[in-house]
Amino acid sequence: MVDSPAAEAPQAVERFDTLPLDPKLLRAVAESGYASMTPIQAKAIPVVLAGRDVMGAAQTGTGKTAAFTLPLLQRMLAHENTSMSPARHPVRALVLTPTRELADQVAANVKKYAQHTMLRSAVVFGGIDIKPQMEELRKGVEVLIATPGRLLDHIEGKTAVLNQVEYVVLDEADRMLDIGFLPDLQRILGYLPKERQTLLFSATFSPEIRRLASSYLQEPVTVEVARPNATASTVEQRFYSVTDDDKRQVVRQLLRERELSQALVFVNSKIGAARLARSFERDGLKTQALHGDKSQDERLKALAAFKRGEVELLVATDVAARGLDIADLPGVFNFDVPFNAEDYVHRIGRTGRAGASGLAVTLVTRDDSRMVAEIERLIRRKIEIEPIELEDERPRRPRRRSLDDDAEERPEAAAGAAGGDRPRPAQPRVGAIDPFFDRPYEPAGSGEATWERSPADKAAATMPVRQGLSPNIRPKKKVASLLGGGGGRG
């Protein structure tokens, strides 16, 4: 029975070259360095190739993008052509993503896998000038990757025509619902033909997602390779009890102790991300901030610098919790415990990707107990909050001199102290001394009140007395009047 085809079937789908894919696609996969499929790819690709609607659930970082991109490109190769006419290149596949970063990443993967074909692709998202996007769409593209808001702009501007779409992908659909894209999704899906293949991929399945699937998917095949809301087993998860004032020091200390060359630091607010990035910069760490108030160009530049290794810390809001694929990212810090427990799964999914190991550290204060309990219920795992001993990072100041130090330097003082006498204070430094300041106080005049004196006495009292002046004080020189005479030479 070992040699039977039924026994060999599960083994046959582990490698890409066993799939019924065009050699051009297999060549692109090989050039990308992939030979074996991940579990979600092995289960989903054959179903998509068969033309079935799919609900795919897999923890983040397991290769969902290739699981829908490769089979859709394979099915669209029938429409491949060399014509320059835009009419011969209508939009046939639409991929919707919740964030600009995820849209840009999916577009990069599509271009990589389609590089040896004549299929065209484009990506549109907000935050940048719409005119270059309009010009690209007018030339014709087969695969369009978009965020919902910007796609509606193109639909209303007649630059995105979707009446020939055959394949629709809702990537990270739960996140699109979380940030309020459901009305936009419903509008966009209303522009599409009824006869189409719809794929819904997400790291988590909520009741809202299942209702969305029941409305827009036709008899979908559910593909799950891990329990919903599960975290990757390759990620080491640690929770430390800290105070707000100690959080930054804990991050610095763990970076040193774990020898982490890079880390992604998540916070809950855009203002907090900007401030924390500046603080880490003052600490001497190369840091960039990534949040929604940044322009798209700034966000892409910060992300590119982080991927090149030019930035040690990337401080980000949950805009970076979905879809960022950073190879070999060693660590993730939850500087703030996320408000939404599901965001915890996505945050820590940025490390430990594709089988690599990673560290996920969550800093917990006394006010975070409710949110930690929600994470515990979601991942169905007991969370142990550990104390952490902080190193003393303060610069050591020189110790002040004491009387005992003086006694050690002056044996005679020590001897006097041993006999019960008080040690003599240190002698003052010898320098230029003005005898005027050493004289005891002597009241001027007879002690008579100023207003009781005669005019003559007042005039005499205000005249300088040269005899009592210090020799260090030079007398004033008489200067001739500017208006002729009246002065003598001093």
**What's the pLDDT tens digit per position in 321-367?**
665 667 678 899 999 999 888 788 888 888 876 667 789 999 999 99
Reduce the DSSP state of residue 28 to 3 states and report it: helix
Q: Where do the H-state alpha helices sit in 331-395?
A: 341-348, 369-379
Amino acid letter at 165? V
Average pLDDT over residues 455-466: 55
Burial annotation 377-392 (CB, 10 A radius, 16+ → b, else e):
ebbeeeeeeeeeeeee
Per-residue confidence at 225, pLDDT binned at 50, 70, 90?
confident
What confidence score (pLDDT) does residue 63 get?
81
Tokens found for residue 244: 């707000």
pLDDT at 168 over 80: yes
In 3D space, the residue among 99, 183, 111 whose CA is nearest the CA of residue 144 turns out to be 111
Chain centroid to CA 134: 31
Reduce the DSSP state of residue 168 to 3 states and report it: strand
Q: CB under 8 Å to 473, separation ≥6 — which residues?
A: 436
The total number of residues shown for the chain amounts to 490
Cα(240)–Cα(379) distance, integer angstroms = 18
Q: What is each CA distance from 61 to 178, 346, 490, in whole angstroms? A: 20, 9, 93
Residue in the structure block whose two tokens are 């594709």? 354
Percent of the chain clearing pLDDT 90 (strictly above): 47
pLDDT at 462 over 60: no
pLDDT at 453 over 90: no
What confidence score (pLDDT) does residue 350 get?
81
What confidence score (pLDDT) does residue 408 get?
53
In 3D space, the residue among 329, 335, 351 whose CA is nearest the CA of residue 262 turns out to be 329
Q: CB under 8 Å to 468, separation ≥6 — which residues?
A: none
Cα(129)–Cα(136) distance, integer angstroms = 12
pLDDT at 123 over 80: yes
Residue 340 near residue 177, CB atoms below 8 Å:
no
What confidence score (pLDDT) does residue 436 get?
63
pLDDT at 59 over 50: yes
Cα(26)–Cα(34) distance, integer angstroms = 10
Per-residue confidence at 159, pLDDT binned at 50, 70, 90?
very high
Cα(329)–Cα(306) distance, integer angstroms = 10
Least confident range of 173-182, 394-403, 480-489: 480-489
Q: What is the pLDDT of residues 392-430, one digit of tens each?
A: 766 555 556 555 555 555 555 444 444 445 555 555 555
Average pLDDT over residues 462-480: 56
Q: Is the dihedral of CA 132, 135, 137, 139 positive or negative?
A: negative
Percent of the chain clearing pLDDT 70 (strictly above): 73
What confidence score (pLDDT) does residue 99 get?
86
Sorted by where each starts, the structural domains of the chain and their CATH numbers stand as: 5-224 (3.40.50.300), 235-387 (3.40.50.300)
Tokens found for residue 338: 């996320």
Eight-class DSSP state of 123:
E
What confidence score (pLDDT) does residue 101 get?
82
φ and ψ of 468, to 5 deg:
-90, 5
Per-residue confidence at 296, pLDDT binned at 50, 70, 90?
confident
